[in-house]
Amino acid sequence: MPDDLMEGGMAKGLEALSFDNSYARLPEHWYQRIDIKPLKGAHLASFNPPVAAMLGLDPCELDPNRLVSQINGDVSVPGADPIAMKYTGHQFGFYNPDLGDGRGLLLGEVINDKRERWDIHLKGIGRTAYSRFGDGRAVLRSSIREYLASEAMAGLGIPTTRALCLVASDQFTQRNGMEPCAVLARVTPCHIRFGHFEYFFYSRRYDELKQLADYTIDRYYPECRKADNPYLAFYQAVQSRTASLVALWQCYGFVHGVLNTDNMSVLGETFDYGPYTFMDRYEPGFVANKNDDEGRYAFDRQPEIVLWNMSALAQALVPLVPQKELEQSLVGFMKEFRDQEALRMRARLGFQREEKGDRELVDAFFRIARECQLDINRFLYALTEANDFNGLDLASLCGRCDTDGSLSEWLGHYRERLAREAASDPIRRAQMRSVNPRYVLRNYMAEEVIREAHNGDYKPLNNLLALLRTPAEKNEQLDHYAGTPPDWAGAICLTCSS
């Protein structure tokens, strides 16, 4: 148990929250009401105070034992109404009608003091009607990976789900051998996926499709009600958020791994982390998921796959929006993506205004990053802190030597471009530090803390979690994470179960 939970007078749990479960008031055949199946020997592995505060909880007043009992289902949560949601989706390009919350449930919706509405979702609670052949459990390994990734993305300013806490247990299940089970308490404003809309479209329940669209617009996109066609406006808003999201992934070398439509949030958040990777070296064709034999979800294919997913959502909305208008909107997706990518890359390079040649400079950077196998995040952090760009330690930042001088030439053009900026070096560095992290979550970091957690030591997990919240701030104790990943990191194998 983290030390900071052992102090102070704590008497409260989730009963301190104000629940208002709007999705559970929708037609009952949209979900299954279920009870949590408690794990044996449940205990708190990690608690996330910033997310608790987001919900309206005072972290200093929480009773960790009561929190575990409520997350684990040993005691009920007053006001909660646990449901497993039904949806469908395209997995690796093929429609699957049998999907739904197979190992999770929506515990309920919370309204905080700011009138913000948050979903609390528990992953790993046991079988539901949508578990198919699974046992409904999540293992500690995959739960830690999602927990870390969501906090890392939030630290980078990339839209994402978060997590309130991680509950470990003494219960085991079969995955990669026998592995300990866990429950992750995920928090986000929205658990509605593209696949929710596909479910009603492909089952030809168009009245219910409209009901879902109305619910989603009223809850998340009320501004769309003013449009001539609110459903088209809703689609366009989702498209813009999603284009911005994938642009951020590409700028930070993030590979999602399983971009199925059931893993796509209508809020444009990074959702359902599996075999994700922040690339140690820039490889456009990198495939994070070893189950992805055809490389459908390779890094450089993410924009086109997300476009494909947007077309699947468009197809599902055809009963509500003329197909031609949806197709016209789709045509603009790649431009939105490219514009958002250019916007973030200008910021990462320290440009506060746009010049005509910036796009070419960014494209050249990514081309050289591929040729030199740059660790783009370490390289851009080095640019942030550099006083003399000629003095950069290119040997440690490149996968091979800059034999043809292309990187050195690019640095010359970059220096010339910076010279035309009005901002002073201190201002430039401050702006660049806000978007160029010193620490990025690497797979080897997750593997290290998972190994310790399997041995019952959660301190490395909690230390790493704190580091990822503020990735630009130097941490003397954990500064080895700013260095080159170890050689064994390249041998880490991730699959859908990760």
What token pair was written down for 465?
A: 């979690």
| Amino acid at residue number 152 | A
What is the C-alpha to C-alpha distance for residues 53 and 34, in angstroms, rounded to an integer?
28
Q: Which residues pair with 89 in a beta bridge?
A: 96
User: What distance in Å separates the CA atoms of residue 215 and residue 209, rounded to the nearest whole number?
Assistant: 10
Distance CA 131, CA 101 (A): 7
Residue among 101, 119, 262, 292 flagged as catalytic: 262
Cβ-based neighbour number of residue 174 at 10 Å: 10
* Residue 418 CB-density burial (10 A; 0-12 exposed, 13-18 middle, 19+ buried): middle
Residue 199: closest CA among 304, 26, 317, 81 = 317
Per the annotation, the verdict on 292 as an active-site residue is no
Contacts of 157 (CB under 8 A, 6+ apart): 248, 435
Closest by CA to 172, choosing from 138, 143, 145, is: 138
Task: State the catalytic residues.
Answer: 262
